[in-house]
A = this chain, B = another copy of it.
Amino acid sequence: MTSVTDLYPVQSALAEVAREVEKKIDRLLPPVQGPEGRVIEAMRYGTLGGGKRIRPFLVVASADLFGVARTCSLRVAAAIEMVHSYSLIHDDLPCMDDDDLRRGQPTVHRKYDEATAVLAGDALLTFGFEVLSGEETHADPRVRLDLVSGLAMAVGSNGMVGGQMIDLQASGLNLDVQGITRLQHMKTGALLSYSAEAGAILGRAAQDKRLALKGYAQNLGLAFQIADDLLDIEGDEASMGKAIGKDAEAGKATLVGALGVERARLQAEMLIAQAIEHLETFGEQATLLRNIARFVINRST
């Protein structure tokens, strides 16, 4: 069992990375004059000022294992968080999940308008690739290319976008546990596991270490999703900063729905144990990654 005190270092490490990545995004994406400034403003609104920044944390903590300079890992973390933000902005659109609130604030299409939200998402996705391909990301062009193609695969029709496509049809698909697991692996798992893998790519890690980190984050991603779904049922709207109970209402396919609360909770714990097992090869060095995994299923927001 994890006591509350054990989680303090995780929370402060998360907060530190969140602060640093916020600064990095702010610098990479300064406001601009001119009529195109509106899309930059919406990009900044959609990606700055909140979020747990789990993906940036995974990039940085994983890169730390290989002694990668924080200037590099935070840049990659910022790129991935921008791409994550793109997915939230598009998922919140009226034609998708139709959400009015995100992190307690109006969603981008409510604050601006739908067209601006579509464009801000497009531009954040594009900018993610631009940042990764930039020289400051890493001196070795092969490393940058590896990051670019990894991101494309995590996002495209076999990753996040494909997952969202399945999710939108889920109420009519009658997915079994295997089908739901596949959906979650695509929708949430792909970008989370790429985040940890990106740290290994930056560190030019050996293949086995790279796969270990990827496997760790895949299990973590699924556990994270179960925890999210449990919070959607049991959480409280104010502390979550978004509407609660919407998933069940919308007939979304979740493991909690398929397994029931108790078995889903056990499944999440098992996944966390598996995630931690992947870290064995890193010994003591991976303590923070172990703790974040435990934190994921104990969080309340």
Contacts and interface: CB of A to CB of B under 8 A. Distances in A.
Nearest to A122: B161
Pick from A90, A116, A162, A166 the residue with the most CB of B within 10 Å: A162
A234 to B, nearest CB: 28
B123 A96 contact: no
A71 interface: no
A66 interface: no
A178 B43 CA distance: 26
A161 B38 contact: no
Contact of A95 (B118, B129, B156): B118
A113 interface: yes
Nearest to A153: B130
A296 B93 CA distance: 38
A119 interface: yes
A169 B123 CA distance: 17
Contacts of A118: 90, 93, 95-96, 118
Contacts of A168: 115-116, 119
A259 interface: no
Interface string A159-173: 001111110110001
Given A36-B166, A114-B95, A152 B123 contact: no
A201 to B, nearest CB: 13
The count of identical subunits is: 2
Instruction: Give the interface residue-count category, chain A.
Output: 35 or more
> Main SS of the interface on chain A?
helix
Given A36-B163, A152-B133, A162-B39, A125 B127 contact: no
A149 interface: yes
A148 interface: yes
A12 to B, nearest CB: 34
Nearest to A163: B36
A155 B40 CA distance: 14
Contacts of A27: none
Pick from A142, A163, A165 the residue with the most CB of B within 10 Å: A165
Interface string A76-88: 0000000000100
A121 interface: yes
B144 A35 contact: no
A144 B129 CA distance: 13
B141 A145 contact: yes
A281 interface: no
A110 to B, nearest CB: 13
Contacts of A145: 133, 141, 144-145, 148
Interface in A147-194: 148-149, 151-153, 155-158, 161-166, 168-169, 173, 186
Interface of A: 32, 34-36, 38-40, 43, 86, 90, 93, 95-96, 113-116, 118-119, 121-123, 125-127, 129-130, 133-134, 141-142, 144-145, 148-149, 151-153, 155-158, 161-166, 168-169, 173, 186
